[in-house]
Amino acid sequence: MTGKLPQVGTTIFTVMSRRARELDALNLGQGFPDYDIDPRLTELVAEAMRGGHNQYAPMEGVLALRERIAAKLLRVYGRAIDPESEITVTLGATEAIFSAIQAAVGAGDEVIAFDPAYDSYEPAVRLAGARCLRLPLVQPGFRYDWERVRAALNARTRLILFNSPHNPACTTAQSADLEALAELIDGRDVAVLSDEVYEHVVFDGGQHHSVLTHPALAPRSFAVFSFGKTLHATGLRVGYCVAPPELTRELRKVHQFNTFSIAHPLQHAIAAYLTEQPDCGEGLAAFFQAKRDRLRGALAGSGFGLPPAQGTYFQLLDFSAFARADDLEFAERLLTEARVATIPLSPFYAVAERLPFVRLCIAKRDGTLDEAAARLNAFAQRLKAA
């Protein structure tokens, strides 16, 4: 059988994690913390199971959880969102992205994404029968070229995939970017899917500009969020999608046949956790900024370049001082020679750009970051000596 995604292999995240295990390398590739979660969350999960929340959850999500989410959205973004008609709990952000795309586009439609684009976007668009147009962010600094977007928009364009803080570029969109996006789609039948899973991880006093805060974008956007990121527990696989009632209705038509409903005890546990700690997201920027700065400090004399990281729990490493820009090859050398797993960026491009970057995950214990820096420094020394 040819299948529907003949060009797609196993994701670079899965491949790199598997290789790291095989080689017993430090895994700074796939983005997940290596430290313990808050034990209180563990207790609340056990309590929810003991409390009998072990059968199907409501399709749209446990109402108590959606109410806690709405309270947070009001506090953080100043928007009153209706938990009944505008919030859907999903199987991680990945399901929200997938279901929103299936709901929004079909055969003959076009979707615009920006490269480097998170790897699940285009396959979801293709499975919906639509075409994904990939526009590169511009170097240096992975900037939006809004004139290029204007030129790409046409009568078939139905959806634009937006992502800030950006994985894997580690940049954050500015309010001028949201303005430009809103202006471009004004008067067109185009929706926005905004991947905001790193909403709380914006560094150096910067602000996250959510589409929910933009008066023209909010009424036409699916905004996607993740408890895995906020609660340092990527294995929860609980996320949510915020969208106006018309879009939410369409999203749920797909969600109910895709994942149907999400782990019931986990939803109760997260609702209880948010009741106890409503502002748990608010310390994340300082927490990860300290890790970013620790790693950057430890690599300062290495010869590796460290592009600005404005947000996300990643840091790019620029290896142009040591090798030509073949990131797959360099990531392989880092894995086998430095014994550090990273994520190369070319798998996130439709037309593989020759960029000298690999991505490091900073959501790690300080000891892991120090050990990774020691291995990278030693590897850089060997390269300089060679």
Interface positions with ligand GLN (CB under 6 A): 11, 13-14, 30-31, 167
Give min distance, CB of 29 to ligand GLN, in A.
7
Please list, in sequence order, all residues whose beta carbon lies within 8 angstroms of the beta carbon of residue 366, skipping any fewer than 6 positions away.
291, 294
Structure tokens at 309: 């990281």
Of residues 152 and 350, the one with the C-beta less far from ligand GLN = 350
* Phi, psi at 330, each rounded to 5°: -70, -40
Of residues 31 and 165, the one with the C-beta less far from ligand GLN = 31
Give min distance, CB of 22 to ligand GLN, in A.
17
Give min distance, CB of 234 to ligand GLN, in A.
7
Of residues 167 and 210, the one with the C-beta less far from ligand GLN = 167
**Closest C-alpha to 307, from 143, 72, 193:** 143
CA separation for the pair 46, 219 (Å, rounded): 38
Give min distance, CB of 312 to ligand GLN, in A.
8
Structure tokens at 64: 């108590």
Give min distance, CB of 220 to ligand GLN, in A.
25
Name the β-bridge partners of 283. none
Of residues 164 and 167, the one with the C-beta less far from ligand GLN = 167
Of residues 149 and 201, the one with the C-beta less far from ligand GLN = 201
Give min distance, CB of 30 to ligand GLN, in A.
5
Of residues 96 and 185, the one with the C-beta less far from ligand GLN = 96
Give min distance, CB of 201 to ligand GLN, in A.
12
DSSP labels, 143-176? B--HHHHHHH--TTEEEEEEESS-TTT-----HH
- Contact at 8 Å (CB) between 135 and 145? yes
Of residues 32 and 322, the one with the C-beta less far from ligand GLN = 32
- Alpha helices, DSSP H, located in the chain: 12-23, 39-50, 63-77, 83-86, 92-104, 121-127, 146-152, 175-185, 227-230, 245-258, 264-276, 284-299, 327-333, 366-385
Residue type, 82: D
Give min distance, CB of 354 to ligand GLN, in A.
21
**Closest C-alpha to 375, from 364, 310, 354:** 364
Task: Count Cβ atoms below 10 Å from residue 236 Cβ, excluding itself.
Answer: 24
Structure tokens at 114: 């920006």
Give min distance, CB of 229 to ligand GLN, in A.
8
Of residues 13 and 349, the one with the C-beta less far from ligand GLN = 13
Of residues 227 and 322, the one with the C-beta less far from ligand GLN = 227
Task: Count Cβ atoms below 10 Å from residue 125 Cβ, excluding itself.
Answer: 26
- Contact at 8 Å (CB) between 279 and 75? yes
Of residues 30 and 310, the one with the C-beta less far from ligand GLN = 30
Give min distance, CB of 226 to ligand GLN, in A.
9
CA separation for the pair 266, 159 (Å, rounded): 31
* Phi, psi at 136, each rounded to 5°: -70, 140
DSSP labels, 312-347? SSEEEEE-TTTS-S-HHHHHHHIIIII-EE-EESGG
